[in-house]
Amino acid sequence: MTLDRQRLCVELQRLDWARHLSSDVIEDIAAAAEISQFRPGDEVIAVGAEITKVYFVIEGSLESSLFDRLDKQIHCERLARGSVLGLFSVVLPERSHLQVSAIEPTTAIHFTLDELLRLTTKHREFQLSIFSAAANVVKRLVVVDRDLPKPAVVGVVHQSDTSRSLTVDLVRRLRQLEEAVCVAGDDDRCSPSDGVPFKQLYENGQMVSRDAITSSLKEWSSLGRLFIDVRADHPQDDLNRLLSYSEVVLWCIAPAEVDKATNQLQALQRDAPWLRDKVRIVWHLTYQDAAPPYAAKLNELSAGDFKTYSGQPSPQHGRLLQQGLERIIHHLRGVHIGLALGGGAARGMAHLGVLKCLEQHGIFVDRLAGTSAGAMTGTVYAAGMDPEYSTQCFKTDLMPGWLFRRLPAGGYWYLIYKYRYDQFDPMLRKYLHDFRMEQLAIPMTTIAVDLVEGALLERHCGDATHNILESINLPPLALPIVKQGQAVVDGGLLNNVPANALFDQGCNFVIASTVTASLEKDFLSIRGKRSSAVSGFFPTLKVMMRQHMIQGYSMNDVGVQPADLVIAPDVTSFDLSEFTRADEMAVIGEAATNESIERLKAMLHKLDPQLFR
């Protein structure tokens, strides 16, 4: 994008750091600025170079890596529209420890130190903006600031008219959150009578002139969010031009439109490979679809997706499926909530009560990670099953048969039978069918361990049922799952409460639900009047299970340490094999969550006061 001075003034007014500046100051900044444009891969600053300029990103994005004196990379971040680069380095005598290059076509303005000092001396309000920018850099480096990008310009591309209501719904919801929103598009549904500033991008089948767009942007410069809302059937040059201006692109499709969308995104990305990092697929589904089709090529062309559902849900469908729009709002508001569900065999059924309570209070997570029982409960929830319905299913499906109920330690014998005769697979497929992780309503990660490499395995793609089977594969009840050179067992061996995985995946608020925070203080009635002998098969089996329990307890603090809030239902009175009491444990999980709910709401309110009131 080539900027003239008038357009530069418009673009500056839309940046957060410049929003409060007067038009005279904006014009003075624009007149003094030098404009640089970078293509993807272009180097902006090299390690060892002398930094003599301060850059302000106007359009596009850069990748910045910070190196120490031994040339070890210690920090990496993406610098999006509105970022400031080189503010500290320009006054240091030593050479650059930064390596900065363009990720996509990027426009930046830059000043020498002398010119920057002249402007800040002349304009006190600009001086305050520079101080604020410096403070934000420090906040990011010390991880005080949890803010994720909040795209000011959102592209919405409709493969067909079936998704046209999405933009209207998003605008309405953002206005409820006290945002000022404007729309530029090829459809007149967002009209001025709705109270939303609207600009037609097409007249008589042709895109309006750049001057007309600039005029509208100048008029809307005080507004915070712009939607560019268009059909996918416009000429490729038009789409490239519009999407290059967008910071995130919501590409809306129905299941029947996969091939068409794939072909079009492939064509666009041949000329603009950087577009992939902006695109999020928005699936327009009905409850009868159960899940979107698996589309490997389409997944490769986007950085993620959202699933939205319409129609009438069945009793087994949870409220999660109704919250697709709200998860898009979370993304636009820079909120990404994760929930980590820990292992603990049957005691993990308490997680279902945690999920139920969060739903009842209107707290819907954006991403899940689970180990062992947490992987099982989390994955069926991520597939859209109602927590209460799931509780009854697990209670029924894991009821030992008549013979097992009469054997000593029959619950363990029953679990051995379920493992050794591959009975968990058909049980789970009744609900998950052949779904892959990519088809679930929200992203889910399961945790397992490879005994060959001694390595943690984080599964966020592939067959959902297989991933659960790996994560719940608990020695000594089960044998390792051997495939592709790996011997896979329960993930609790290395990470029983995977809160850290959620932070690594971009969550800026993480809740942990753990059932291993407490440990019952008796074993084999040793502290009772009639202690049991620790010999024979059954006590030996209980010893091994006790070892597993202690391992989970001792690792609990490590697992939950990164979490912002920990919910710890006390289910120590339940045996590790008592899945038939799933409903009782779910009630305890719900009660424990209720005890923490006000604190949780207060913390989320600090993250986004409008979204969490």
Task: Quick: pLDDT tens for 405-459.
Answer: 888 778 888 988 999 899 999 999 999 999 999 999 999 999 999 999 999 999 9
More confident call, 575 vs 328: 328
Percent composition of the chain: helix, strand, coil (DSSP 3-state, to 5)? 45, 20, 35
Q: How far is Cα of residue 268 from the mean position of the Cα atoms in its chain?
A: 25
Tell me the backbone φ, ψ of residue 588, rounded to 5 degrees: -65, -40
DSSP 576: T
Pseudo-torsion of CA 315, 316, 320, 323, nearest 10°? Answer: -40
Task: Quick: pLDDT tens for 371-389.
Answer: 999 999 999 999 999 999 9
pLDDT at 535: 47
Measured CA distances, 261 to 211, 276, 299 (Å):
31, 13, 11
How far apart (Å, rounded) are the C-alpha atoms in residues 329 and 425? Answer: 36
Name 309's bridge partners: 285
Cα torsion angle, 125, 127, 130, 134, sign: negative
Domains and CATH numbers, the chain: 5-142 (2.60.120.10), 153-312 (3.40.50.300), 330-519+538-607 (3.40.1090.10)
Task: Quick: pLDDT tens for 223-235.
Answer: 778 999 999 999 9
Overall average pLDDT of the 21-45 stretch: 92
Q: What is the pTM of this model?
A: 0.87
pLDDT at 561: 81
Task: Quick: pLDDT tens for 55-64.
Answer: 999 988 999 9
Q: Looking at the annotation, which residues are catalytic?
A: 372, 490
Task: Quick: pLDDT tens for 201-245.
Answer: 888 778 887 777 767 766 776 677 899 999 999 999 889 888 888
121: Cβ contacts below 8 Å, ≥ 6 apart:
127
Task: Report the percentage of the chain scoring pLDDT > 70.
Answer: 90
Task: Quick: pLDDT tens for 107-129.
Answer: 999 999 899 999 999 999 999 98
More confident call, 550 vs 336: 336
Task: Quick: pLDDT tens for 184-199.
Answer: 888 866 565 678 888 8
Task: Quick: pLDDT tens for 456-506.
Answer: 999 999 999 999 999 999 887 889 999 999 999 999 888 999 999 999 999
How far apart (Å, rounded) are the C-alpha atoms in residues 308 and 324? Answer: 4
